[in-house]
Amino acid sequence: MDTLAGTPQRATTNDTAAHERLYRSLRGQIMLGELPPGQALTLRGLAAEHHVSMTPAREAARRLVAEGALTLSASGRISTPELTDERIEELAALRALIEPELASRALPRAHFALIDRLTRMNGQIADAVERHDAVGYIRTNLDFHRTLYLRAQAPLMLAMLETIWLQLGPTMRALYGRVKRNEPPRHHRMILAALRAGDEPALRLAIRADVTHGLRHLTST
User: What pLDDT shows up at residue 13?
Assistant: 61
How many helices, marked H, and strands, marked E, lie in the chain?
A: 10, 3
Q: Please give the C-alpha separations between residue 56 and each of 27, 28, 46, 92, in angstroms, as whole numbers.
A: 14, 17, 10, 32
Phi, psi angle pair for 78, to nearest 5°: -105, 135
Q: What contacts 153, CB < 8 A, 6 or more positions away? A: 105, 109
User: What pLDDT shows up at residue 180?
Assistant: 59
CATH code 1.10.10.10 for 13-79: yes
User: What pLDDT shows up at residue 219?
Assistant: 63
- pTM to 2 decimal places: 0.85
Same fold, 13-79 and 85-218: no
With a cut of 50, which residues of the chain have pLDDT below it?
Answer: 1, 7-8, 221
SS3 148: helix
DSSP H helices, 8-77, are 13-31, 43-50, 54-66
* Residue-range domain boundaries for the chain: 13-79, 85-218
Q: What contacts 185, CB < 8 A, 6 or more positions away? A: 125, 141, 210, 213
User: What pLDDT shows up at residue 1?
Assistant: 46
User: What pLDDT shows up at residue 184?
Assistant: 67
Pick the CATH number of 85-218 from 3.40.50.720, 1.10.3720.10, 1.20.120.530, 1.10.540.10: 1.20.120.530
